[in-house]
A and B are shown apart, each in its own frame.
Chain A
Amino acid sequence: MKAKNKRLFTLLSLMIIFFLGCTILFKNLKNNLVFFFTPSEIINKPNITQNKIRVGGMVKKDSVVREVVVKEEKQIQKISFIITDFKEEISVFYSGILPDLFKEGQGVVVEGKLINNFSINAEKVLAKHDENYMPPELEFLNTSKKRN
Chain B
Amino acid sequence: MTAEFGIFFLVLTFVISSLGFFSTITSGNKKKFLTLIHHEKISLLLFFFTILSFFCLTYSFLISDFSLNVVAKNSNSQLPTIYKITGVWGNHEGSILLWLLVMTFFGFLFSNSKIPDQNLKIQTLSVHNSLIFLVCTFVIFTSNPFERSFPPPIEGSDLNPLLQDPGLIIHPPMLYLGYVGFSIVYSISLAVLMLKKKTNFIEILKPWVFMSWIFLTAGIGLGSWWAYYELGWGGFWFWDPVENASLLPWLTASALIHTIMISSKKNLLINWTLLLSIITFLLSLLGTFLVRSGVLVSVHAFASDPTRGIFILLMLIIVSFSGLFYFLRRTELYSSKHQIKLVSREGAISLNNIFLISLTFTILIGTIYPLVSSIFFKSKISVGAPFFNSILTPVMVPMIFGMIIGPFLRWGNDDLLKLLNRLKILVFLFLFSSILLWYVNFGGPVIAIIFFIFAAWIIIASLFELTKFMNFKPKLRINSLPAKYFSQSISHIGIGLIIIGATGSSILKIEKIQFQEIGEIIKINQYDVEFKGVKVVEGPNFLSQTGVFEVSKDDAHVINLKPEKRFYNANKQVTTEAAIYSTIFGDLYIAIGDKNSIKNSVSWTTRIWYNPFTIWIWLGVFSLVTGGLISFFRVIKKKK
- In the complex the two chains form, what is the Cα distance from A119 to B504 in whole Å? 36
Given contacts A28-B391, A34-B383, 7 further A-B contacts (CB under 8 A): A52-B384, A75-B515, A77-B596, A96-B513, A130-B301, A131-B573, A137-B380
Quick check: is A100 within 8 A (CB to CB) of the other chain?
yes
Q: Which B residue sits closest to A137, measured CB to CB? A: B380
Quick check: is B466 within 8 A (CB to CB) of the other chain?
no
Quick check: is A46 within 8 A (CB to CB) of the other chain?
no
| A34-B382 CB under 8 A given contacts A77-B605, A100-B575, A136-B297 | yes
In the complex the two chains form, is B596's CB within 8 Å of A129's CB?
no
Q: Which residues does chain A contribute within 8 Å of B302, judged by CB atoms?
A: 130, 132-133
Q: Which residues does chain A contribute within 8 Å of B576, judged by CB atoms?
A: 100
In the complex the two chains form, is B383's CB within 8 Å of A32's CB?
yes
Q: Which residues does chain B contribute within 8 Å of A26, judged by CB atoms?
A: 365
Quick check: is B303 within 8 A (CB to CB) of the other chain?
yes
Quick check: is A86 within 8 A (CB to CB) of the other chain?
no
In the complex the two chains form, is A33's CB within 8 Å of B390's CB?
no
Q: For chain A, which range describes its interface: under 10, 10 to 19, 20 to 34, or 35 or more residues?
A: 20 to 34
Chain B 46-81 interface mask (CB, 8 Å, partner A; 1/0): 000000000000000000000000000100000000
Partner of B605, one of A32, A52, A54, A97: A97
Q: Which residues does chain B contribute within 8 Å of A134, judged by CB atoms?
A: 303
- In the complex the two chains form, what is the Cα distance from A91 to B607 in whole Å? 26
Interchain nearest-CB distance for A60 vs B (Å) = 20
Q: Which residues does chain B contribute within 8 Å of A28, judged by CB atoms?
A: 387, 390-391
Which residues of A from 42 to 61 have beta carbons under 8 Å from B? 52, 54
In the complex the two chains form, is A21's CB within 8 Å of B381's CB?
no
22 sample A-B contacts, Cβ–Cβ < 8 Å, listed by A number: A28-B390, A29-B369, A31-B387, A32-B386, A32-B387, A33-B383, A35-B380, A36-B379, A37-B380, A66-B596, A75-B515, A77-B515, A77-B605, A100-B232, A101-B574, A129-B160, A129-B162, A131-B571, A133-B302, A134-B303, A136-B294, A136-B374
- In the complex the two chains form, what is the Cα distance from A48 to B384 in whole Å? 18
Q: Which residues does chain A contribute within 8 Å of B387, judged by CB atoms?
A: 28-29, 31-32
Partner of B358, one of A21, A37, A77, A131: A21
Partner of B362, one of A25, A74, A131: A25
Quick check: is B598 within 8 A (CB to CB) of the other chain?
yes
In the complex the two chains form, is B366's CB within 8 Å of A29's CB?
yes
- In the complex the two chains form, what is the Cα distance from A26 to B387 in whole Å? 10
Quick check: is A11 within 8 A (CB to CB) of the other chain?
no
Quick check: is A68 within 8 A (CB to CB) of the other chain?
yes
Q: Lowest 7 A-B CB distances belong to which pairs?
A: A32-B387, A36-B380, A132-B303, A100-B574, A135-B297, A75-B515, A34-B382
Q: Which residues does chain B contribute within 8 Å of A132, judged by CB atoms?
A: 73, 302-303
Chain B residues engaging chain A, CB cutoff 8 angstroms = 73, 157, 160, 162, 232, 294-297, 299, 301-303, 358, 362, 365-366, 369, 374, 379-384, 386-387, 390-391, 513-515, 565, 571, 573-576, 593, 596, 598, 603, 605, 607
Interchain nearest-CB distance for A12 vs B (Å) = 17
Q: Which residues does chain A contribute within 8 Å of B295, judged by CB atoms?
A: 136
* Total residue contacts A-B, CB cutoff 8 A: 90
In the complex the two chains form, is B607's CB within 8 Å of A32's CB?
no
Q: Which residues does chain A contribute within 8 Å of B380, judged by CB atoms?
A: 35-37, 137
In the complex the two chains form, is B379's CB within 8 Å of A35's CB?
yes
Q: Which residues does chain B contribute within 8 Å of A68, judged by CB atoms?
A: 515, 596, 598
Chain A residues engaging chain B, CB cutoff 8 angstroms = 21, 25-26, 28-29, 31-37, 52, 54, 66, 68, 74-75, 77, 96-97, 100-101, 129-137
- In the complex the two chains form, what is the Cα distance from A54 to B598 in whole Å? 32
Interface majority SS on B: helix, strand, loop or mixed?
A: mixed
Q: Which residues does chain A contribute within 8 Å of B598, judged by CB atoms?
A: 68, 75
- In the complex the two chains form, what is the Cα distance from A32 to B299 in whole Å? 21
Q: Which residues does chain A contribute within 8 Å of B297, judged by CB atoms?
A: 135-137
In the complex the two chains form, is A25's CB within 8 Å of B573's CB?
no
In the complex the two chains form, is A97's CB within 8 Å of B162's CB?
no
Interchain nearest-CB distance for A50 vs B (Å) = 10
Interchain nearest-CB distance for B458 vs A (Å) = 25
Interchain nearest-CB distance for A7 vs B (Å) = 11
Q: Which residues does chain A contribute within 8 Å of B374, judged by CB atoms?
A: 136
Q: Which residues does chain A contribute within 8 Å of B358, judged by CB atoms?
A: 21
In the complex the two chains form, is A97's CB within 8 Å of B607's CB?
yes
Q: Which A residue sits closest to B388, measured CB to CB? A: A32
- In the complex the two chains form, what is the Cα distance from A54 to B596 in whole Å? 28
Q: Which residues does chain A contribute within 8 Å of B362, judged by CB atoms?
A: 25
In the complex the two chains form, is A133's CB within 8 Å of B381's CB?
no
| A133-B593 CB under 8 A given contacts A35-B381, A36-B381, A75-B514 | no
- In the complex the two chains form, what is the Cα distance from A120 to B168 in whole Å? 37
In the complex the two chains form, is A97's CB within 8 Å of B160's CB?
no
In the complex the two chains form, is A29's CB within 8 Å of B515's CB?
no
- In the complex the two chains form, what is the Cα distance from A66 to B374 in whole Å? 35
In the complex the two chains form, is A34's CB within 8 Å of B384's CB?
yes
In the complex the two chains form, is A100's CB within 8 Å of B513's CB?
no
- In the complex the two chains form, what is the Cα distance from A132 to B571 in whole Å? 11
In the complex the two chains form, is B303's CB within 8 Å of A130's CB?
yes
Q: Which B residue sits closest to A74, measured CB to CB? A: B514
| A100-B384 CB under 8 A given contacts A25-B365, A130-B302 | no
In the complex the two chains form, is B365's CB within 8 Å of A130's CB?
no
In the complex the two chains form, is B301's CB within 8 Å of A33's CB?
no
- In the complex the two chains form, what is the Cα distance from A36 to B370 in whole Å? 11
Q: Which residues does chain A contribute within 8 Å of B296, judged by CB atoms?
A: 136
Interchain nearest-CB distance for B50 vs A (Å) = 27
